[in-house]
Amino acid sequence: MRPEEAYERLRALGFGDEQAAVLFEHFSDAERRGKLGHGFSRVEWLETLPDIEPGALPVKVDSSPGFDRWEGRGALGYLTLAAICTDLEAAPPEPARVVVAADCFPTGMLGHWVRRLTRAGLTAMLTATSPARLAHPAGGPALVGTNPLALGIPAAEGEPVVVDVSMGEVTYGEVLAGLAPAERLVPFGGEHAHKAFALALGLQLLVESQIGSGYGAVLVALRAEPADLTAFGEARLPGR
């Protein structure tokens, strides 16, 4: 799908200018980074969703120093996370804020959102839940989502470090985009797959302990000194 077509099809789904621009920016960032499972293939996927509400807007329902709670209220998770980023940019944490988002799905490439927050001088850690697709390494039904963990840290020079690790060998997006077979939707790690399963489980229960049922996200944003990365020499660091 060409970029112009993606944008037009988002508008045709009923999204306003601003919302379509947020979605388009996320999908094209994913394409640019080679994460095609989070790219324009998702526009086609959105078209298959039965109950999309293009006019829905997320709402900040609770706020106290160091803590905000949001509800998607039917908005796509992408739009809820974008609204949270806008809010953090306008009033940065002093020095830390935990943000919980309920009814927040799909959330896309989490690295996109933490990268955005590094531009506001923030270190950010973000996780989000998604439908159960990973079974326990010992077998049985799918119990947990691929529940990625993303971390973004501003660097003193050049691009920030952006880590974005799904707990699956492949992401559901890669399966959707025809880039990987569904059989590879297992916790990564081979003989150490119990570690990735445990992380996916722990992150899922962390989110659920805050939102109850459904899908959601937990973000921690911290004021940060930009990282001096000279000690890492020539090593290729994620996100750079």
Strands of the chain (E only): list them. Answer: 59-64, 67-71, 96-102, 122-128, 134-135, 142-144, 149-153, 161-165, 217-223
Interface stretch with a copy of itself, choices 3-11, 21-29, 38-46, 228-236 (CB under 8 A):
228-236
CB of 133 to a copy of itself, least distance (A): 14
Number of residues near a copy of itself (by CB under 8 A): 57
Interface stretch with a copy of itself, choices 2-10, 47-55, 81-89, 164-172 (CB under 8 A):
164-172
- Give the CA distances from residue 28 to residues 64, 101, 148, 234, 238, in Å, rounded to whole numbers and listed in that order: 35, 24, 20, 28, 19
Binding of a copy of itself by 233 (CB under 8 A): yes
Give yes or no for a contact between 137 and 145, defined as CB atoms under 8 angstroms apart: no
Binding of a copy of itself by 185 (CB under 8 A): no
Among residues 18, 61, 67, 86, the one that binds a copy of itself under rule CB under 8 A? 67
Among residues 51, 94, 157, 183, the one that binds a copy of itself under rule CB under 8 A? 94
Give yes or no for a contact between 19 and 46, defined as CB atoms under 8 angstroms apart: no
Binding of a copy of itself by 123 (CB under 8 A): yes
CB of 97 to a copy of itself, least distance (A): 7
Q: Which of residues 198-217 bind a copy of itself (CB under 8 A)?
A: 198-199, 201-203, 205-206, 208-210, 212
Among residues 151, 175, 185, 217, the one that binds a copy of itself under rule CB under 8 A? 151
Among residues 21, 52, 56, 96, the one that binds a copy of itself under rule CB under 8 A? 96
C-alpha–C-alpha distance, residues 80 and 109, integer Å: 13
- Give the CA distances from residue 108 to residues 28, 41, 121, 147, in Å, rounded to whole numbers and listed in that order: 12, 12, 22, 11
What tokens does 203 get?
């992150």
Give yes or no for a contact between 164 and 146, defined as CB atoms under 8 angstroms apart: no
Positions that interact with a copy of itself (CB under 8 A): 64-67, 94-98, 123, 125, 136, 138, 140, 143, 149-151, 153-154, 161, 163-166, 169, 188-192, 194-196, 198-199, 201-203, 205-206, 208-210, 212, 220, 222, 224-225, 227, 231-233, 235-238
